[in-house]
């Protein structure tokens, strides 16, 4: 019989906080959040956002930190094992945990490619390639050619993009190969401070822009901030605004994915989860609300004015990041340096998130099949590298959007609903409350005991139902999908179904082996 090896541990409390914050702080903080706020009532958006944060985000953060540490005590670092530890009498619950491995893999296989664009654009900023482009059309043409969607004087193929993808993929693989404390923790302990420093520098630069065009005095920072933060309270009557706010909280805190469960499983039994979880969430909120809300939209307003800002806000996160912001940096002194900071900030936010997405699958292989770190990383890297090719070469056929729907939206809401009900009702809120406070450095307000048991599950069920009706069912039925893309969407769904089935089979094999060991 093989000997079970010791599981890794975090080297320091700061390390786990920075790692979880790094997982949460991503592209959504600086691109998705300002777009959502601007398009959903401005300052009024913050009301449902804060409600969702208090009743959904923070409770889920504590649930995942606590459940992860609990499951780690039984040698499990992923949702199948953690769920099984919390409800041993139910032989099916572990299969629901498959979502917590499947979701991160699906997100990783397109996120790593998008992340590589940021590394490339950091390079293009320093070499002056972006500063030579003229207007929105020129910047958009450059991006489309880089992505391989068109061919022009900038790029005749996808070779450059693929080179940066390879570099990014290798860096991700190297970090996760070095392990929890030697790789992930080390990276996050320097990447997060650099990211935040760059964010502060960019925010200060934007907040000191003044009025670049004296002939247009209304194009100023105050009005730019007002566009984003002046409240349109009538928007609160729209259920889509509440849905958007709750969805943003999901995206921003990295809850409902399974990543925090895995990270927390490497804690020791009496390591604090209450204050540490709150600290990581607070770091993320600073990056999102303070920095993310102070850079993109206000800067775009100052340079493009009140008429164009609506189109800018509605153009989507990618256009904001890769088209609008480079155009803004062309208009200010030392623009290439600030552009480099912008794209490097986003790259660091991306890589601290992508390495966290890799960890559940690697932990699953290590914990349940007792393979070495090297073997687990090589299996993960090989499989995901093959799967990533669809994101690279089929970008123009809707594959990335399809992956984002299933991995980055559907799985998040469904998984969070399952784990919350399991934690508060099956595991038991009294037992869960005691577990949350084991080794805790703060006392969580008792009100949250009832929030976690009643309010958060109800919130999630309502969110799931409304989301299915408004977005889920139309997407499943491929409403609005061009006929030319339907084949690629169907093939993508077939591959995803195969991934779920394979993971379920692996869970079954792992537990049969466990049962055999117990009887011998």
Q: What is the pLDDT of residues 121-158, one digit of tens each?
A: 999 999 999 988 988 889 999 999 999 999 988 898 89
Residue with the bigger pLDDT between 292 and 96: it is: 96
509 has a pLDDT exceeding 70: yes
Q: Share the mean pLDDT of the chain.
A: 91
- Supply the DSSP string of 244-284, one letter for each residue: HHHHHHHHHHT-SSSHHHHHHHTS-TTS--HHHHHHHHHHH
Residue with the bigger pLDDT between 308 and 325: it is: 325
For residue 490, give every residue at least 6 positions away whose Cβ sits within 8 Å of its Cβ, in sequence order, or none: none
* Range of lowest pLDDT (353-367, 378-392, 462-476, 501-515): 462-476
Spatial separation of the C-alpha atoms in residues 290 and 310, rounded to whole Å: 21
What confidence category does residue 209 fall into, taking pLDDT thresholds of 50, 70 and 90?
confident
pLDDT at 1: 37
385 has a pLDDT exceeding 50: yes
CATH class in words for 13-519: mainly alpha
For the chain, give the percent of residues with pLDDT over 70.
99
Spatial separation of the C-alpha atoms in residues 174 and 17, rounded to whole Å: 21
* Range of lowest pLDDT (112-116, 307-311, 435-439, 475-479): 307-311
pLDDT at 5: 61
What confidence category does residue 53 fall into, taking pLDDT thresholds of 50, 70 and 90?
very high
Whose tokens are 């609300």? That residue is 289
pLDDT at 520: 67
Contact 27, 107 (CB under 8 A): no
CA distances in angstroms from 99 to 67, 258, 502, listed in the order given: 16, 8, 12
pLDDT in tens, 170-194: 999 999 999 999 999 999 999 999 9
Spatial separation of the C-alpha atoms in residues 399 and 180, rounded to whole Å: 31
């Amino acid at each position: 019989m093989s000997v079970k090896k010791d599981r890794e541990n975090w080297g320091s409390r700061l390390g786990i906080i920075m790692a979880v914050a790094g997982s949460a702080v991503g592209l959504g903080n600086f691109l998705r959040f300002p777009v959502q706020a601007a398009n959903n009532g401005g300052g009024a958006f913050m009301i449902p956002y804060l409600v969702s944060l208090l009743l959904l985000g923070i409770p889920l953060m504590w649930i995942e930190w606590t459940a992860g540490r609990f499951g780690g005590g039984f040698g499990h670092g992923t949702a199948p094992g953690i769920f099984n530890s919390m409800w041993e009498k139910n032989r099916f619950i572990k299969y629901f945990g498959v979502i917590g491995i499947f979701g991160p893999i699906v997100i990783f296989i397109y996120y790593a490619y998008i992340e590589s664009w940021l590394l490339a654009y950091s390079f293009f900023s320093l070499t002056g390639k972006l500063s030579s482009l003229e207007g929105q059309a020129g910047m958009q043409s450059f991006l489309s050619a880089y992505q391989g969607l068109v061919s022009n004087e900038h790029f005749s193929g996808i070779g450059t993009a693929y080179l940066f993808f390879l570099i990014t993929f290798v860096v991700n693989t190297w970090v996760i190969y070095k392990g929890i404390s030697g790789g992930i923790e080390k990276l996050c302990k320097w990447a997060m401070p650099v990211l935040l420093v760059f964010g502060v520098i960019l925010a200060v630069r934007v907040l000191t822009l003044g009025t670049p065009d004296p002939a247009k005095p209304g194009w100023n920072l105050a009005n730019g901030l007002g566009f984003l933060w002046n409240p349109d309270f009538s928007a609160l009557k729209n259920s889509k605004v509440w849905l958007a706010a709750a969805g943003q909280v999901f995206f921003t805190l990295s809850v409902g994915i399974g990543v925090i469960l895995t990270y927390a499983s490497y804690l020791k039994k009496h390591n604090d989860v209450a204050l540490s979880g709150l600290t990581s969430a607070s770091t993320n909120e600073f990056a999102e609300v303070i920095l993310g809300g102070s850079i993109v939209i206000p800067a775009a307003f100052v340079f493009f004015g009140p008429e164009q800002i609506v189109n800018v806000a509605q153009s989507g996160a990618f256009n904001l990041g890769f088209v609008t912001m480079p155009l803004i940096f062309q208009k200010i002194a030392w623009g290439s340096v600030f552009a480099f900071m912008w794209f490097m900030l986003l790259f660091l936010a991306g890589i601290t998130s992508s390495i966290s997405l890799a960890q559940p699958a690697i932990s699953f292989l290590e914990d349940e099949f007792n393979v070495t770190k090297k073997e687990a990383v090589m299996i993960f890297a090989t499989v995901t590298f093959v799967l990533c090719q669809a994101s690279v070469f089929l970008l123009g056929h809707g594959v990335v959007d399809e992956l984002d729907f299933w991995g980055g939206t559907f799985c998040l809401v469904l998984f969070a609903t399952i784990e919350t009900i399991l934690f508060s009702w099956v595991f038991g809120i009294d037992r869960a409350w005691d577990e949350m406070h084991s080794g805790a450095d703060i006392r969580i307000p008792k009100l949250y005991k009832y929030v976690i048991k009643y309010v958060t599950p109800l919130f999630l069920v309502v969110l799931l139902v409304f989301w299915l009706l408004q977005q889920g069912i139309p997407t499943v039925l491929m409403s609005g999908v061009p006929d030319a893309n339907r084949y690629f969407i169907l093939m993508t769904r077939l591959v995803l179904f195969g991934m779920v089935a394979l993971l379920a089979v692996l869970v079954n094999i792992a537990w049969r082996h466990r049962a055999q060991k117990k009887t011998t």
